[in-house]
Amino acid sequence: MGIERSAFATALFAAAGFQVLFSNFSGALIIFAILLYFARLLTYKDPMMLLFIVQAMTGAFKSYYDPCKYKPLTIRRVRRA
């Protein structure tokens, strides 16, 4: 479906829960479609975006991902005689 597995599972189980609670299958399909659309928006540019949003909301943001850091690689040529 073009999204991360956890986002798909969240949309699927939320729609299933809506259907069980309210016995409304068409409402469950609408909820699933809306959540699927938002999940595609989140993961279109960066698949890790959902994880970053959750970490930022909980205050446990990890600093291992910084797209602005640039560290050039050092390439060394070894000449063999």
pLDDT tens per residue across span 10-63: 899 999 999 999 999 999 999 999 999 988 887 787 777 777 777 778 777 666
CB atoms near residue 18 (< 10 Å):
19
pTM across the whole model? 0.60
Q: Which domain holds residue 46?
A: 1-81
Contacts of 35 (CB under 8 A, 6+ apart): 10, 11, 14, 15
- Calpha distance 24→58 (Å, rounded): 32
User: Quick check: 32 and 11 in contact, CB under 8 A?
Assistant: yes
Q: What is the pLDDT of residue 49?
A: 74
CB atoms near residue 14 (< 10 Å):
15
Count of structural domains within the chain: 1
